[in-house]
Amino acid sequence: LLHAFDVMEAASTRTTQASSSSPPHRVRRRISFKRRPTQGMDSQALTDEAAWTGLALAAALPLLGAALPRDQHGCCVMPHPHPLVKRTARAGRYINVLGRPSYHTNRACDNCDEAICDRVYYACSEGCDIDFCKRCHARLEALFSGIDRRLATWVARFVGRAASFALTRLSTAERRALVSELAFCWPAPMFERLVRAVVDVADAKVVHLQDNTDHISADTEFWNTVGFLQLLYAANQLPANECRFGELVPRGPRVSR
């Protein structure tokens, strides 16, 4: 599914380049198809890119649910992309106010946000600015003990790629067509599962913004995921704002809360 977005991006780039290099009287048109009107809906063109985006989301939906574990606060968490290695402080030993030996590590735990005073802590093996105290590391290891880490990482990547494709490769008209497709053609349980999966990934990634990048703005997939949530919000509200053919009143939002 990730490869499908690579293929679609490459095809979109080639189409754009071919259109810009063709003579004015031989401009190539993008191939598109129209869906069959259902339940009195007006026919709306769906290009290949918009259609495949919806199909990829639907195909990946069984893998997206419950892939990320939740911590003691109910927030989804995702594993760090690189292995964590054990570090040992060898200097800066002192006795704290409780009479216990502690160490000046000059580091703070990225999970509990407290200063790391233990001699042993855990850091990223690839040099990312992330550290965990011994207690939080043990807690996270227990949290991910029954979870497929590769699947959790894949889910975060897939949601980010799908959101980036929808926001950067689809035109405004194509995004509107995708929103209409999600609003009126997707079954309500499928749409709610998609919303929950994207919210979970965004919730988990917001904790790792500072961990994985030097600058928050550098994580474009995260911000595209936030933008994709706005598309889902538009799809959720669309049935409440439009009265379709054969309906006396609007349906209301797809997800009530």
Q: What percent of the chain has pLDDT over 90?
A: 24
Confidence band, pLDDT 50/70/90 cuts, at residue 72: confident
Confidence band, pLDDT 50/70/90 cuts, at residue 162: very high
For residues 158-166, average pLDDT: 93
134: exposed, middle or buried (C-beta count within 10 Å: 0-12, 13-18, 19+)? middle
Read off the tokens for 61: 């939906």
Mean pLDDT over the full length of the chain: 78
The residue type found at 37 is P
Phi and psi at residue 57, in whole multiples of 5°?
-65, -40
Is 60 exceeded by the pLDDT of residue 119? Answer: yes
pLDDT digits (tens, 9 = 90+) for 180-222: 899 888 998 999 999 999 999 998 887 655 554 556 677 788 8
Other CB atoms closer than 10 Å to residue 226's CB: what's the count? 15
- For 95-122, letters b (16+ CB in 10 Å) and e give eeeeeeebbebebebbbeeeebbbbebb
Measure CA of the first residue to CA of the last residue in the chain; give whole Å.
30
3-state helix, strand, coil in the chain (%, to 5): 50, 10, 35
Stated as kind and residue range, the H or E segment containing 94 is strand 93-95
Phi and psi at residue 72, in whole multiples of 5°?
-65, -15
Q: What is the pTM of this model?
A: 0.72
CB neighbour list of residue 137: distance below 8 Å, 6 or more residues apart? 84, 121, 122
Per-residue pLDDT, 190: 92
pLDDT digits (tens, 9 = 90+) for 176-187: 999 989 988 899
For residues 92-99, average pLDDT: 77
For residues 175 and 164, give the distance between their C-alpha atoms in angstroms, rounded to a whole number: 12
Spatial contact of 93 and 171, defined as CB atoms under 8 Å apart:
no
For residues 61 and 158, give the distance between their C-alpha atoms in angstroms, rounded to a whole number: 11
| Helix intervals (H) in 45-148 | 48-64, 134-143
Distance (Å) of CA 66 to CA 70, 126, 194, 195, 256: 9, 28, 11, 13, 21
User: How many helices and strands, by DSSP H and E, does the chain display?
Assistant: 8, 7
